Amino acid sequence: MSAHLIEQLITIPLFTGVIGYITNWTGILMLFEPKRFYGVRVPGVRFLYPLLPRRVQVIPAIRADGRVGWQGIVPSRAEKMASIAVDKSLSKVGSIAQFYEVLDPEYVSAHLTRSALPEVPAIVEGIMQRENPRLWYSLPEDVKALVYRRVAASLPDDVTRMTAMIGENIDDYIDAKLMVIRHLSANPLILKQIFYNIGRKELRFMQNFGFYFGFPMGFVLVALIHFCPHWWLLPLGGIVIGYVVNYVGITMIFEPMNVKRWVPWQQGLFLKRRIEIAEQYAAVMADQVVTIENICDELLHGPRSDRTRATVELVLRESVDNAAGWARGVVKMSVGQEAYARVPQLAGVEALKVAERTVADPTFVAQQRGKVRAFVTARMTILRPEDLSELLRSAIKQDEWLLFLHGAILGSAAGFLHLAIFGV
């Protein structure tokens, strides 16, 4: 055996193994980093961009303003990834009405009531001082106390009616898909948790597989070069190995969907961990996405929040009229028709402030989070294998060809580097 052949048997497999590892390692980095676009403006690109095929335009390496650089594939597709996360999981796990029921509206009502009762005197006094301070100051303390008691007495029924009315037509108050998409798009770190942390074992396998596959393929390449000693065979072999190592690695993670005995790994590695992944996904969803805070924020500040305010004011208007009772006409004359009409609106504003403070209570939030987590976990375990697989693969499916191309380029570069160091 010649010294040159021994040299090739040592160096080429090392090169192909190391490059296979680096290819997959950098490929995973390309998926998630950086969070925002970094690049430089290149002359002429801005004019060339409209002429490029759509498939090239959406690559996160080029911008319509003429910049060329890179942004992680997942962050660059944040809105699409969020939409897929909803379509492939949450929408199949349960409707927003089911999530609302899981949060237990009766328990929420009771908790809101307990939180609001101590604030009744301050709320009433603030409203009355704003609308008719002279009248309020002139009222005897026992009359004021009577007002407080009447408001406090009607509060439990008022809160229960509000939560029930919202629950009966929750889809009119919350666009669940838009809520999740907006939250995930604004928080790319959560997307990374979904697509990276949940699939980290498979991504780590893919990274290591680059070496496990590339190293033995190096010996095959040595054999080819031995029988066909052309210089171009080394970079060409690098291209093939770099491309195939990514293709086979991704295939092993997601395919086959169902167990097939004739396949060495029998089932996609991702799908073998269905129960564990369901628990991890449920934890992310319950802790950071479908939370009582986010649902409350959507009700109070979302695109349909005007409906929430209208419902609160409707209930409070009836409550104010009932509290005024037979003296309603006298009260209207005392404070004025307009001031009387504004009371439910002002009370609604204060009630919504109380609700916001209530859902920030750590103990209350933890209890609700546990309910959502248990619900999502139970429902995730019955998802079809293709839906669960698509949940992670959606992060890379559109741009898989970029990862394959990336592997081919690095493989080719490794071949030329070996030629430069060791010759043909």
Do 270 and 49 contact (CB within 8 A), yes or no?
no
If asked whether residues 57 and 121 sit together in one domain, one would say: no
Calpha distance 2→145 (Å, rounded): 104
**What's the pLDDT at 291?**
78
Give me the domain span that covers residue 338.
1-36+75-424
Same domain? For 85 and 189 the reply is yes
**Does one domain contain both 214 and 286?**
yes
If asked whether residues 10 and 82 sit together in one domain, one would say yes
Contact, 8 vs 214, CB < 8 A?
Answer: no
Same domain, 51 and 83: no
CB count, 10 Å around CB of 164? 13
Q: How many residues does the chain have?
A: 424
Distance CA 133, CA 154 (A): 24
**214/239 Cα distance (integer angstroms):** 11
- Are 31 and 44 in the same domain? no
| Boundary of a domain, candidates 52, 70, 88 | 70
Residue 119 pLDDT greater than 50, yes or no: yes
Two structure tokens written together for 38 = 């970094």
Report the alpha-carbon distance of residue 90 to residue 32 in Å, rounded.
22
Q: For residue 49, give both structure tokens.
A: 């961009």
Q: Same domain for 44 and 32?
A: no
The answer on pLDDT for 13 being more than 80 is: yes
> Are the CB atoms for 183 and 294 separated by under 8 Å?
yes
CA–CA separation, 139 vs 292, rounded Å? 40
Shared domain check, 261 and 114 = yes
Q: Give the three-class secondary structure for 258.
A: coil
CA distance 131 to 260: 75
Let me know whether 79 and 63 are in one domain. Answer: no
Please state the pTM of the whole predicted model: 0.66
Q: What is the pLDDT of residues 301-356, one digit of tens each?
A: 778 878 877 777 777 666 665 554 434 444 444 444 454 444 555 565 666 676 77
Q: What is the rounded distance in angstroms from the CA atom of residue 291 to the CA atom of residue 161?
A: 22
Tens digits of per-residue pLDDT, 201-255?
A: 777 888 888 888 888 888 888 888 878 888 888 888 888 888 888 888 888 877 7
Secondary structure (3-state) at 129: helix
In 3-state terms, what secondary structure has residue 400? helix
